[in-house]
Structure 1
Amino acid sequence: MNRRRFLTAVSATLPLSVAGCLGNGNDDDQQTSTGSPTTDEPTTSEPMKVGETADLSGETALTLLDGTAHASIIVGTEDGPEVAANEGKKWALLNFDADAVDDRQTLVSDSVTLTLNETDYTDPTFVARGGQNDFTAAYEVPADLSPWAGHVTVDTGDASATWQLDARTLEDMAHAVSYSVTSVSVPDSVARGDSYDVDVTVENAGSAAMRFLARLNPAGVSPTTVEFEVPQGETKTNTTTVTASVAEGTEEFDVSLDWGVDSTTKTIAVDSSSSSN
């Protein structure tokens, strides 16, 4: 666990330059010669760095691990995983680690604000990460947003803290997103039980390399995630091999691809003359 800072409760989130202004509580001792109290000297606390931990109350703690941006994300729904992406938008991602938190999503939804270029972003969407305690909050921002300054604030009402986003994190969030799916190709026909390829071609016109995400849903086969990197300024084709697991007597079946911004469905005929089953 990274170095922790114990936080003092404050009534409101404070600017980056002053993360906490607290009096010393000794007003009776701070008197002028006329008997009028003087203004308490403010106490200044530096914002935390990315990677540091905020101790909120008791054993509850929150660490901002890092931040980045992606064109699309995978989210969980009642119907299973789906790709979330919207035209003209990208996702600014904040990766957290939480200790002694029963409901991590509620904590972040209610208490965390991402500020980029003096604009506040709240109401995140959540993406699963690999660890038991770490998780990702995704904030939808303009696709061409290039933040020159930013910070993340947690304010539970009992305690607050601010993480200053460093230059590297801001750079990771600054890449403009612009891409297109130029083609999705499948064979005209395939024998039942045989394998076939789904080719997806993506052109990346953004300002940096991107990770393309889509959900492939072939008839008769469980949906799967298509994921691959596309270098900046390049066009790349990814191939996914699928088995034509359709019922006997099926004449044709559909294969759909959904990448959030759009989707497409292709139809493949079943070649009964050469069926392998």
Structure 2
Amino acid sequence: MRMDDERESRNVEDRRESSGGRGRGLPSAQTMMIIWPLIKPLFKTKFGWIIIAVGAFAWFSGYNPLSIIGMGGGSSAPIDKVKDEKQAVFIKKVLASTEKIWNKELRGYREPTMVLYRGSTRSGCGYASAQMGPFYCPEDQKVYLDLGFFDDLAKRHNAPGDFAQAYVLAHEVGHHIQNLQGTLSKVQKAKQSWGGNSKKANALQVRVELQADCYAGAWAYHAHKDFNILEPGDVEEALRAASSIGDDTLQREATGHVRPDAFTHGSSAQRVEWFRRGLKSGDIRQCNTLQ
């Protein structure tokens, strides 16, 4: 993917050094609020003090002791700062590319902010953990991204490559467009009106996610047309990523069974289909999954 001449977006909050987990500095106030009820009883015994000492040593050595109990998210391995910074620069450039395209294609477009963090942080939609994966919060109009997700995408889901990473961000920016269009608020009202009908709510959420996939494809169409960003193999990377995180694929890997009524993002085939549709036309009017 050709991004060398692209500028980095300035709409970025870089919380990697202050967010919870995988940091070498002091834990953030948010992290301390979360873990204090867990560590407070440890101060009452000698063994507890030993546990605290070991945890503190691990923290300042670049490991995440919270991952042992499922908190903090992300890997407990030390951060490769050179690789991490390279990924941060790249994803900032991808965000800048989405800004150029959507400012040109959508009247009145307002750019979202991207929050880079490690392990955990706070969002306008509540607690954010790396285990949640990248997500968009309509309350504060920010995309939240732990760069460790891209390692999972490559290793656990067999979807490596820079354009696979770009697709992930472009999908979240697609949710921002939906928010500006009023789609997300309409969907939320519909879900509330159905009460506890999870099947109908899930089916509607699938349509929302597939539209965001289509918007990601439309961005790629215009970005390549205007700036010639795509290289051989890039499209295949995005399609592999879309397929690898389809609900049927993830359910089959986790349980060996597929439950379509529990889908929230769409099947692998659906995600590939709607990304292709946007990539082929570049016309977001072709992305109306909510008809």
Q: TM-score, normalised by structure 2?
A: 0.22
Q: Which has the higher strand share?
A: 1
Q: TM-score, normalised by structure 1?
A: 0.22
Q: Which has the higher helix share?
A: 2
Instruction: Look at both structures and tell me which one has the larger radius of gyration over its CA atoms.
Output: 1
